[in-house]
């Protein structure tokens, strides 16, 4: 759900960058509706990718990867999870995901204030 000044952080482990890109790839139905594996997993019709930042690393992640994201200085210290089990991050700005516990490829890290 849209929520001003919030950022939702997800982590995941993909076998390679192509799989990660395919997961995020926007496709369109004949009616012009957009979908991706990402939006399907979240159970939403649309994500504005102008408010989305992503990172994929061939090696496992560290907090150094989080520092590359916009406004990270405002929320990085609130993330208390070991990122080394993951190789990709997806951040959605102005979005507050409500955890339903039914994610398959994603690990929900949390929703944080970024401003």
Helix (H) / strand (E) containing 33? none
C-alpha to C-alpha distance for 89 and 12, rounded to whole angstroms = 6
**CA triplet 90, 43, 115: central angle to 5 degrees?**
40
> Which residue in the block uniquely carries the two structure tokens 């930042």?
53
Annotated domain spans of the chain = 2-113
What is the residue-level pLDDT of the chain in tens, covering all 115 positions?
889 999 999 999 999 999 999 999 999 999 988 899 999 999 998 888 899 999 999 999 999 999 999 999 999 999 999 999 999 999 999 999 999 888 999 999 999 999 9
């Amino acid at each position: 759900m849209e929520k001003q000044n919030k950022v939702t952080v997800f982590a995941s482990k993909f076998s390679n960058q192509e799989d990660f890109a395919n997961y995020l790839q926007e496709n369109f139905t004949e009616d012009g509706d957009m979908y991706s594996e990402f939006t399907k997993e979240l159970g939403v019709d649309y994500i504005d990718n102008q408010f989305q930042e992503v990172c994929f690393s061939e090696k496992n992640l560290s907090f150094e990867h989080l520092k590359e994201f916009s406004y990270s200085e405002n929320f990085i210290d609130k993330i208390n999870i070991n990122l080394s089990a993951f190789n990709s991050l997806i951040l959605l700005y102005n979005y507050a995901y409500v955890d339903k516990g039914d994610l398959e490829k994603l690990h929900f890290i949390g929703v944080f204030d970024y401003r």
